[in-house]
Amino acid sequence: MVEIYKEKERNEKEKLNNICEECRKEDESVSQNLIMHGYKNCDSCKISKTIFPI
């Protein structure tokens, strides 16, 4: 029972980690970009940053 609860809690945290810092949208590419490039952006924000770097 405890194991199931922990698993659910972990999934909730992973969900939070998938929220883009730029547009606040939830996307699974956010966590991938965080691992790959070190910033929490979704793919569409990543592309706009690449084309228009601030």
Residues in touch with Zn ion (CB under 5 A): 20, 22-23, 42, 45
Q: Show the CA angle centred on residue 27, arms to residues 26 and 33, nearest 5°.
A: 120
d(CA 48, CA 5): 38
* 19 DSSP assignment: B
Cβ-based nearer residue to Zn ion, 22 or 31:
22
CB of 44 to Zn ion, least distance (A): 6
Cβ-based nearer residue to Zn ion, 6 or 37:
37
Cβ-based nearer residue to Zn ion, 4 or 54:
54
| Residue entry with tokens 């659910």 | 8
